[in-house]
Amino acid sequence: MHEMPKIVETYQKFHPRGFGTVAVAMSYDPPDRVFGYAEQTRLPFHVALDLFGQVVRVFGGVEGTLTNFLLDKRGRIVRGFQGEPDFEDLAKPIEKELKREA
């Protein structure tokens, strides 16, 4: 959860231009803690629970928690990040994708 304020900041910076964020909690994350955290911190984006590991499978497996994916406007993976991303470097591909046509 250390990186969550930076994720929120990135979302708020790019959301007016069409950028979206979805946080996905793993099947082992207690739902009450996940939603309690989301409510307490007033996360400005959707939070989903991957109770049965379906999201993990769609994304080709997740090696560990904190894994981030940047998707294009069609939902294709542009880039994956294991661990906390360098948020300055992350801004570059986000900018590039926001400029592309759907």
**pLDDT 10s digits, 13-60:** 999 999 999 999 988 999 999 999 999 999 999 999 999 989 888 888
pLDDT surpasses 70 at 63: no
Average pLDDT over every residue of 3-17: 94
pLDDT surpasses 80 at 61: no
Do residues 52 and 35 touch, judged by C-beta distance below 8 A? no
pLDDT surpasses 70 at 102: no
Instruction: Give the residue with greater pLDDT, 82 vs 95.
Output: 95
Average pLDDT over every residue of 71-84: 88
